[in-house]
Amino acid sequence: MDETELVYLRNKFALVIVLVFQNQYPHEWPSFFDDLLALLASTSGTPKHPAAIDMFLRISLALDDEVVNLYIQRSGEDTKRNADIKDAMRVSAVGRLTETWYNILTSSWQTNPEVANVCLNLFARYVSWIDIKLVVGQDFISGLYQFLTTEPLRMAACQCLTEIVNKGMKPLDKLGLLQALNVTDVLGQLDIEGDVEFAEQVAKLVNVMGVELGRCWEESDSFPEAKEAAVGMLSQVFPFLIKLFGNEYDDTTSVLFPFLDKYLAVIKKEKRAGGDLALERYEANLLELLRVVIFKMKYDEEEDWQFGAGAGEDEAAFSEMRKSLKVYFDAVAAIDRNLFITCVSTTVCTTLDDLTVRGMGAKTWSEAELALHLLYLFSEALFSLEKGSPSFTVTAPDGTVSVTPLGEMVSKMLKSNISSYPHDSIPFVFFDNVARYASFFESFVEFIPDVLGPFVDTRGLHHENSSVRSRVSYHFLKFVEKLRTRALPYVDNVLTSIQDLLIVRRPPPTLPSPPTTPVTPKPGSTATSFDSQLYLFEAVGMLISLDPAQPEKQVELLTAVIRPLMNQMEEIMQKELYKQDVPPDNVVFTTQLNHIIRAIGSTSKGFPDFNTAVKTVQAVPAWTAVFKQALQAIVVVLERLNSSELIREASRYSFQRMVGCMGPEAMEHIRPLVTAGLLSSSTAKELVDFIPFIALIIHRFSPTISPVINDLFPPLTDRIFFYLNQPASGTDDAFEALELRRQYLVFITHIFNANMEEILISETNMPRLNTITQSVLHYANDCSDPASQKAAFSVIGRMIGAWGGAPARPAKSESGSGAKSNGSTKTSPVMKKKGMVGAKMDRAQSAPQLLPDGTTKLSPALSQSQSQQQQQQQQQQSQSQAIQAEIPAKPPLPGFDRFLLDQVLPNLFAVPLKPEFSLADGSAIAVMGEIATCHKLISAAMGEGYYDYLINVFLPSIGCPGAIAEQFVGGLRGLEAKSFRKFLTSFIQNMKA
pLDDT digits (tens, 9 = 90+) for 839-890: 333 333 333 444 434 444 433 332 333 333 334 444 444 444 333 334 455 6
- pLDDT tens-digit series, residues 340-352: 999 999 999 999 9
Per-residue pLDDT band at 430 (split at 50, 70, 90): very high
Q: Residue 837 in contact with residue 867, Cβ under 8 Å?
A: no
Query: How far apart are the C-alpha atoms of 668 and 688, rounded to whole Å?
Result: 23
Model pLDDT, residue 524? 35
- Write down the pLDDT at residue 839: 31
- Predicted pLDDT of residue 808: 47
In the chain, the percentage of residues whose pLDDT exceeds 90 is 67
For residue 636, the one-letter residue type is V
Answer positive or negative: Cα dihedral of 561, 564, 569, 570. positive
For residue 239, name the pLDDT band (cuts at 50, 70, 90). Answer: very high
pLDDT band at 71 (very low <50, low <70, confident <90, very high): confident
> Is residue 813 pLDDT above 60, yes or no?
no
**Residue 569 and residue 633 in contact, taking contact as beta carbons nearer than 8 Å:** yes
Helix axes 528-544, 466-483, angle to 10 degrees: 20
Average pLDDT over residues 561-573: 95
pLDDT of residue 856: 40
pLDDT tens digit string along 392-410?
A: 998 888 888 899 999 999 9
Question: In this predicted structure, which of 296-300, 303-307, 431-435, 971-975 has the lowest mean pLDDT?
Answer: 303-307
Q: How far is CA 380 from the centre of its chain?
A: 19
What number is the average pLDDT over the span 556-573? 95
Separation of CA 300 from chain center: 32
- The model's pLDDT over 486-500, given as tens digits with 9 standing for 90+, comes to 999 999 999 999 999
Tell me, what DSSP letter sits at residue 129?
A: T
Q: How far is CA 17 from the centre of its chain?
A: 53
Q: Is the pLDDT of residue 29 over 90?
A: yes
**How far, in Å, CA of 522 to CA of 685, rounded?**
11
Quote the pLDDT of residue 105: 94
| pLDDT score, position 386 | 61
pLDDT tier at 582, thresholds 50, 70, 90? confident
pLDDT tens digits, 158-170: 999 999 999 999 9
745-768 pLDDT, tens digit each: 999 999 999 999 999 999 999 889
- Which tens digit of pLDDT belongs to each residue from 896-919? 899 999 999 999 999 999 999 998
Q: Please state, in angstroms and rounded to a whole number, the distance separating the CA atoms of residues 518 and 507.
A: 20
3-state secondary structure 86-125: HHHHHHHHHHHHHHHHHHHHHHHCCCCHHHHHHHHHHHHH
pLDDT for res 840: 31
- Give the three-class secondary structure for 393: strand
Poorest-pLDDT segment among 458-462, 596-600, 791-795, 871-875: 871-875
Q: Which of 367-371, 388-392, 806-810 has the highest mean pLDDT?
A: 367-371
> Kind and range of the H or E element at 266?
helix 257-274
Determine if the pTM surpasses 0.85. no
SS3 173: helix
What would the mean pLDDT of 275-287 be, rounded to a whole number?
Answer: 89
pLDDT for residue 42: 61
- Determine the average pLDDT of the residues in 685-698: 89
Q: How far is CA 396 from CA 345, 375, 400, 422, in A?
A: 21, 25, 5, 41
Alpha-carbon span 236 to 178, nearest angstrom? 12
Average pLDDT, stretch 401-427?
95
What percent of the chain has a predicted confidence (pLDDT) above 70? 87
- Chain-centroid distance, C-alpha 531: 22
The mean per-residue pLDDT over the stretch 655-676 comes to 86
448 φ/ψ angles, rounded to the nearest 5 degrees = -60, -45
The pLDDT of residue 846 is: 35
Q: What DSSP letter does each residue of 601-624 carry, written as one string? A: HHHHHTSPPP-TT--SPPPPPTTH
Backbone φ and ψ of 682, nearest 5°: -70, 150
State whether residue 386 is helix, strand or coil. Answer: helix
What pLDDT, on the 0 to 100 scale, is given for residue 612?
A: 60
858 beta partners? 848
Tell me the CB-side half-sphere exposure of residue 819, using CA atoms within 13 A: 28
pLDDT at 517: 36
- Determine the pLDDT at residue 50: 86
pLDDT digits (tens, 9 = 90+) for 292-322: 999 999 999 988 898 887 888 999 999 999 9
Ranges of beta strands (E only) in 288-433 are 393-395, 401-403
Return d(Cα 297, Cα 324) in angstroms, integer.
10
Contact call for residues 362 and 355 (beta carbons, < 8 A):
yes
Mean pLDDT across the chain: 86
With CA atoms as reference, report the closest residue to 12 among 86, 67, 65: 65
Q: What is the mean pLDDT of residues 783-809?
A: 87
User: What's at 121, amino acid-wise?
Assistant: N
pLDDT digits (tens, 9 = 90+) for 604-652: 999 998 876 555 556 788 999 999 999 999 999 999 999 999 999 999 9
Whether the pLDDT of residue 376 is over 60: the answer is yes
Pairs from 904-911 (Cβ < 8 Å, separation ≥ 24): 904/777, 904/796, 904/800, 904/934, 904/938, 905/938, 905/954, 906/954, 907/777, 907/780, 907/781, 908/934, 908/935, 909/958, 910/781, 911/780, 911/781, 911/783, 911/789
The predicted-structure confidence for 260-276, as pLDDT tens digits, reads as follows 999 999 999 999 988 87
**pLDDT, position 924:** 92
Tell me: the pLDDT tens digits for 915-951?
999 988 899 999 999 999 999 999 999 999 999 999 9
Closest CA relative to residue 251, chosen from 202, 285, 188: 202
